[in-house]
Amino acid sequence: MSKFKRPRVSIEKLKELLSYDPDTGLFIWKISKGKGYAGNVAGNQNSLGYLETSIGGTHYLLHRLAWFYVYEKWPDQDIDHINGIKSDNRISNLRDVSKSVNRQNLKKPVAGNSSGMLGVMAIGNKFRAQIGIDGKPTYLGHFNTPDEAHQVYLEAKRKHHEGNTL
């Protein structure tokens, strides 16, 4: 079932308005319309770091438009930026995956992480490694250094997270 309530741009209209280079990930306006001028790169970075543009009063994330442009069908699920760079919309960097697989491809710790390392939390003078497996937190042990804890986390991530690219 589609996440969109409003009608989406057709492939014909998209290709009439924009060209897309799958090797660079850039969209270029073909005609001047609204704020987009023919020959200009389309898209602005939003507060989350993704590129977006407006077509017919509807906002679109450019990574989803790239998928649609190339495959001529909307993605079924989330579009994951394989390298973790949210503005890199080269088609080779995009994959249509479930939300959980997309989350498995995190490259940086969440805000507020006390160790600054993915999967590692400072607890007193020790460092706990923990990973989510099948939606449940899994304890991996306490370690003397954040690097030791992070290495154990990475081993578990490579084993249990199909979406991982680290």
CATH architecture of 11-100: Alpha-Beta Complex (3.90)
- 51-105 per-position pLDDT tens digit: 999 998 899 999 999 999 999 999 999 999 999 899 999 999 999 998 877 777 7
Give the DSSP per-residue string, 5-67. SSPPPPHHHHHHHEEEETTTTEEEESS-BTTB-TTSBP-EE-TTS-EEEEETTEEEEHHHHHH
Question: What mean pLDDT value characterizes the chain?
Answer: 87
Q: CATH 3.90.75.20 region(s) of the chain?
A: 11-100
User: Residues 62, 52: contact at Cβ < 8 Å?
Assistant: yes
108-160, CATH topology level: GCC-box Binding Domain (3.30.730)
Q: Between 41 and 101, name the one with better pLDDT.
A: 41
The model carries a pTM of 0.74
94-103 pLDDT, tens per residue?
999 988 777 7
